[in-house]
Structure 1
Amino acid sequence: MLTSYILLFLLLLFGAFGVVEYARHQRRARSIPIRIHVNGTRGKSSVTRLIGAGLRVGGISTITKVTGTYPRLILEDGSDVHIHRRGDANIIEQLSVVRLAAERKVSALVVECMALEQQYQRITERQMIHATIGVITNVRLDHIDIMGRTLPEIASVLAETIPSRQHLFTAETLISDVLQNYADKKHATMHVSTEESVSQDEMKGFSYIEHRENVSLALAVCQHLGVDRQVALQGMYTAIPDAGVLRRFVVGAFGKQLAFYNAFAANDPDSTFLVWKRLKEESGLEGTRIVLLNTRQDRMDRARQLAELAGRKLNPD
């Protein structure tokens, strides 16, 4: 009997601790005036970094957290810090990021969404981030085993991070009407940006190959928060990019000049095709063209999609 009372007491104690800690987290989150939750199929890490860089140079103290090629924190001064994890990635780490931002009394926190499953995306937004601005970069056919096999199905999952009665920014144009329906249900104001708002000359300021739609989206968010467009753009030029950004490398071998484009981060068929199309338009991809696919045994659906893309659309030599 005594053991039962002890167990009951411990359960009540842990329950009370959980309630208190939950309330503390809510206060921490609300103490950060600007909370930006970045979601989408492709470009999340890049857009998160670009927004953070634009806000910092605009005088808004900002902490950014990305989970792209490597998990990183970008602090108020723009320094890039590695996140040391104990075990696998877990959405619980978002709590510690909110705590850090609150303790440092920053004005803005820009966080890349970690979750894939619909219920975890819902929890991340409603219980952890409470965004004042939601961002959905785009909606593409990826993680189809988890998020759905059609664009509307995937959009329904991504829409879980649209903040209620706040603002949603997106560069998605193909099914923007679907996102608009979800935004309306949450009484959120949706803003759609297009790549045409950024000129090719403006893109020349980047030291790597950035996507215009990413820059356009990040600029729209920064301007919404009062940062001058040109000021924000200059900050984006100097930002440290994600390790997986699209880059061009030229090496000499066998008496030839070989150009290698690292596009491994575009690991869904739609994004891969868009990169291929863009490179053909801008550089012509002259000479013998070779496509190297990096597939994973635990992502067989994606491997089949990429193999079909290479054989039917890319048509390498």
Structure 2
Amino acid sequence: MAVFIITITIFLIYLLAESYYHSKLLGRIHLRISVSGTRGKTSIVRMLASVCRSNGMRVLAKTTGSEARYILPDGSEEKIKRRGVISIIEQKNLVKKAAQLGVDCIITEIMSINPENHFAETHKLIRPHLTILSNLRADHLDVVEESQKEITALHINDIYPGSNLFIPSGEINNILRVGIEKSGAKLNPVEKDAATKMGVNPDVPGSMFRNNIDLVSSVAASLSISVDTIHRGLRAAIMDIGDSAVYLLENKVKKVYFVNSFAANDPLSAMELVDKTLGSISNTEAPVYGFLSLRADRGERSRQWLDFLSHGAENRFRHLFISGLHAGILRKKIKESSIIRSNDPATIMGSIISEVEDGSVVFGLANIHGRGMQMVNYCRENGIKIALHGI
């Protein structure tokens, strides 16, 4: 019994010492920014870090999107090495690294799915001065219920007492307002086209989702960063592999536009991207196709896409090419669809091009990891990247 008590006592002393040390490291970082929400976190982190660097700040940023990275004060990137299950302890490591580098600011994504971990990241590990909520949409349905109430309740855990919260005005609801009031945080609603109204040219990397540009510009302005510096930083931002992009692929008889919209996991975000991309194409009559990349470990997301498409959304596409474990189930429910069984990106792209008309637009949908990333890498190596705002 005595040994047990001594062991527990030593462990508690260790935890207290670790907590004290972490708090001391946090105190060295003058500005701590967290980014949460369903979609757009990685793009926001990358753009805001670039803007802050352009303003002369020493920034360490961390992303957990398609490729987990540290973005160092000089803008170079360092891959985050992971062993086994992804852990929120990465945020603790971020703070240590920031203190070692002597940075002015950290910008990091909230990486959790479960409410308890959202709370731990925000209230224990980061304690942000400023929080950005990109949007409140359904995703990770195997963990979070699809109702707006549950999604909002999840992200209330990301609001740190006394912090500044930036969120698109259209995403604010009564549940969120109550959570903000209880936390004592300051709400900063960001209006649509806020960047344009302050004089920031929105035609920059990541500009297909203008609300991201609005958020970054509004946050930067609150930090007294000039409009010219904001625009310069936005233009210099290097985006994640999962960021939306259009690639022109050609063979001897056809040219096809392939749109990387894999990372817009939820159907609503994906359809928003479809609409914005098609709106930028001069030939509005171009045939539209979809390539669904389904993951074996994301059964709920496959179900989400099936429900969405089978309730009329399939009519947005002339035909859907489906790949992955759940492809057979979707094929039975979606009339204009077919299964691609190959895992080789060159074979997949060859099959798609052989089936579609010249000048078609093909959207990569559902999941960036695995096959989706392979397709993007293939397009990067074999296609020509085209600006999203002007195909």
Question: Shorter-chain-normalised TM-score: which range?
Answer: over 0.9
| Cα contact 2:59–2:73 (8 A) shared by 1 | yes
Per-residue CA distance 1:80-113 (angstroms, 9 max, x = gap): 1111112221101110101111222211110100
Match of 1:28 among 10, 17, 25: 25
Counterpart in 2 of 1:197? 194
Counterpart in 2 of 1:236? 234
| Cα contact 1:210–1:245 (8 A) shared by 2 | no
Offset of 1:294 from its aligned partner?
Answer: 1.4
Per-residue CA distance 1:243-282 (angstroms, 9 max, x = gap): 1000000011350110000100001011111111212222
Counterpart in 2 of 1:252? 250
Match of 1:80 among 67, 77, 82: 77
Aligned partner letter, 1:292: F
Counterpart in 1 of 2:323? none
| Cα contact 1:291–1:310 (8 A) shared by 2 | no
Aligned partner letter, 1:88: V
Offset of 1:6 from its aligned partner?
Answer: 3.8
Say if 1:101 and 1:210 are closer, same or farther in 2 by CA, change over 3 A.
Answer: farther
| Cα contact 1:276–1:314 (8 A) shared by 2 | no
**TM-score (normalised: structure 2):** 0.76
| Cα contact 2:71–2:78 (8 A) shared by 1 | yes
| Cα contact 2:38–2:137 (8 A) shared by 1 | yes
Aligned partner letter, 1:13: I
Match of 1:45 among 42, 61, 64: 42
Q: 1:115 aligned to 2:115?
A: no
> Unaligned stretches of 5+ in structure 2?
319-391
Aligned partner letter, 1:308: D
Counterpart in 2 of 1:54? 51
Counterpart in 1 of 2:210? 212
| Cα contact 2:152–2:176 (8 A) shared by 1 | yes
**TM-score (normalised: structure 1):** 0.93
Counterpart in 2 of 1:280? 278
Q: Secondary structure at the match of 1:146?
A: coil
Q: Percent identity?
A: 27
| Cα contact 1:63–1:106 (8 A) shared by 2 | yes
Instruction: Quote the Cα distance in structure 2 between the aligned partners of 1:255 and 1:9.
Output: 77
| Cα contact 1:209–1:247 (8 A) shared by 2 | no
Match of 2:89 among 88, 92, 114: 92
Offset of 1:40 from its aligned partner?
Answer: 0.2
Counterpart in 1 of 2:142? 145
Q: Which moved more, 1:303-312 or 1:108-117?
A: 303-312
> Unaligned stretches of 5+ in structure 1?
none
Offset of 1:148 from its aligned partner?
Answer: 2.0
| Cα contact 2:195–2:218 (8 A) shared by 1 | no
| Cα contact 1:137–1:172 (8 A) shared by 2 | no
| Cα contact 1:136–1:172 (8 A) shared by 2 | no
| Cα contact 2:208–2:273 (8 A) shared by 1 | no
Aligned partner letter, 1:286: E
Q: Secondary structure at the match of 1:85?
A: coil
Instruction: Quote the Cα distance in structure 1 between the aligned partners of 2:200 and 2:21.
Output: 47
| Cα contact 2:159–2:183 (8 A) shared by 1 | yes
Counterpart in 2 of 1:131? 128
Match of 1:263 among 261, 275, 284: 261
Q: Secondary structure at the match of 2:232?
A: helix
| Cα contact 1:162–1:183 (8 A) shared by 2 | yes
Instruction: Answer 1 or 2: higher relative contact order, Cα 8 Å, separation at least 6.
Output: 1
| Cα contact 1:209–1:245 (8 A) shared by 2 | no
Instruction: Quote the Cα distance in structure 2 between the aligned partners of 1:205 and 1:42.
Output: 18
Per-residue CA distance 1:193-238 (angstroms, 9 max, x = gap): 23422349923343x6542110110111111111112202211211
| Cα contact 1:136–1:170 (8 A) shared by 2 | yes
Offset of 1:310 from its aligned partner?
Answer: 3.4
Q: Secondary structure at the match of 1:121?
A: helix
| Cα contact 1:139–1:172 (8 A) shared by 2 | no
| Cα contact 1:48–1:110 (8 A) shared by 2 | yes
Q: Which moved more, 1:64-73 or 1:51-60?
A: 51-60
**Root-mean-square deviation (CA), in Å?**
1.9
